[in-house]
Amino acid sequence: MRVLGFMTGTSLDAVDMAVLETDGHAISAFGPAGERKLTEATREIMLDATRQALAWPRGEPEPAIFAEAAAAGANEHLAAAEEFLAANKLKWSDIDLIGMHGQTVLHERPQGGRVGRTVQLGDASLLATKSGVPVAHDFRTADVAAGGEGAPLAPIYHLARARASGLEPPLAVLNVGGVANVTFWSGNDDIAAFDTGPGNGMIDLMVQARGAGRFDDKGRYASVGQVNQGALAGLLGHEYFRIPAPKSLDRFDFSLQPLDKLELEDAAATLVAFMAEAVGLGFDTMGQVPRELVVTGGGRHNPEIMKALAQRLPVPVRAAEHYGWRGDAIEAEAFAYLAARTAKGLPISFPKTTGVPKPMTGGRIVNPDGQPA
């Protein structure tokens, strides 16, 4: 089937889109990929929804802004897709299924016997009705309800993508988005995964808090800063690093307070070192050394991040494009692939990727008439 996948990351930068032809097992063809920057209006409503989500007490009704933000997200996806399809000489009738991740505004990992909470906003029914195409969505809720972490979900796609490229295990794939997560492929269908720590998210939040832009473009601040070892040690003292994998994070789980007294450039350099050191600790935890590491996500555009990873890790570190992958489209491709697996009733999360008791299907499909599939 031909599936259009969508992803909007926690950076609130753009709607990423990619088309795959897949049966939920193998990838038969890679269609076009692209992005459309979020409008400022949608970005602001998602920021507001995130603020309210972080203050939302368990057991209380969800904030009213969630429904408004979900509709805004769906309309943003629709507008992005219509431009994208037209530019690639495609029509909605050429698409068999849509996979929409939605905008994450809250992610709380399970702790102390308490199940987690995860919220991705995007009105799938609205998108299905307006596009005329069934929409697979809500990929994380079932996993969380079963006691899983709800993240990361891309590992099964990392496996399919590696196989499509003819890569061999042992292999690691690192996605550096707002949070960084790693997939280890040991052989056959054996994959393990977890969030290693912050990716770009803490750097973005720090830069924004200091009025220095939305992100550290190409690492220009970090490149002239000095790592503060005291602040780095404080960040690495977080309890998260003592929790066994699989495990997951929200980009707000770590405080910027240890960096308060540092200059902007030194704070950026320290956060780059923190990200790389956290990945290194993840490798140490796994106790295995893959033959190579493929880096995807926005972080691979930051030369300081790539340099820090190469210095910290005992394996060759290469950006996704080295292997012919579309590094900016991997997550959109992943949710196209997960949508196909949802339609086929195939598992999308596993004991060694999210901590669920057994391999689990996930996601729900809504038809253009608004009814569940």
**What per-residue confidence (pLDDT) applies to 59?**
93
Is the per-residue pLDDT at 288 higher than 80? no
Nearest to 119 by CA among 70, 169, 188, 176: 70
Question: For residue range 197-224, what is the model confidence (pLDDT) as tens digits?
Answer: 999 999 999 999 999 999 999 999 999 9
**What per-residue confidence (pLDDT) applies to 166?**
95
Average pLDDT, the chain: 96
Q: What is the mean pLDDT of residues 252-264?
A: 96
Higher pLDDT, 287 or 90: 90
**What per-residue confidence (pLDDT) applies to 285?**
86
- Residues near 255 by beta carbon (within 8 Å), at least 6 away in sequence: none
Nearest to 245 by CA among 294, 184, 171: 184
User: Helix 264-286 crosses helix 201-209 at what angle (to 10 degrees)?
Assistant: 160
Nearest to 248 by CA among 347, 135, 155: 155
**What per-residue confidence (pLDDT) applies to 167?**
96
Categorise residue 8: left if φ over 0, alpha if ψ from -120 to 50, beta otherwise: beta
Q: What is the mean pLDDT of residues 234-248?
A: 96
CA–CA dist 125, 305 (Å, integer): 39
Question: For residue range 185-198, what is the model confidence (pLDDT) as tens digits?
Answer: 999 999 999 999 99
Is the per-residue pLDDT at 361 higher than 90? yes
**What per-residue confidence (pLDDT) applies to 363?**
97
CA–CA dist 193, 181 (Å, integer): 7
Domains located in the chain, CATH noted: 2-151+328-366 (3.30.420.40), 166-323 (3.30.420.40)
Question: For residue range 18-34, what is the model confidence (pLDDT) as tens digits?
Answer: 999 999 999 999 999 99
Nearest to 128 by CA among 137, 140, 115: 137
Question: For residue range 306-322, what is the model confidence (pLDDT) as tens digits?
Answer: 999 999 999 999 999 99
Question: For residue range 141-181, what is the model confidence (pLDDT) as tens digits?
Answer: 999 999 999 999 999 999 999 999 999 999 999 999 999 99
Query: pTM of the full predicted structure?
Result: 0.96
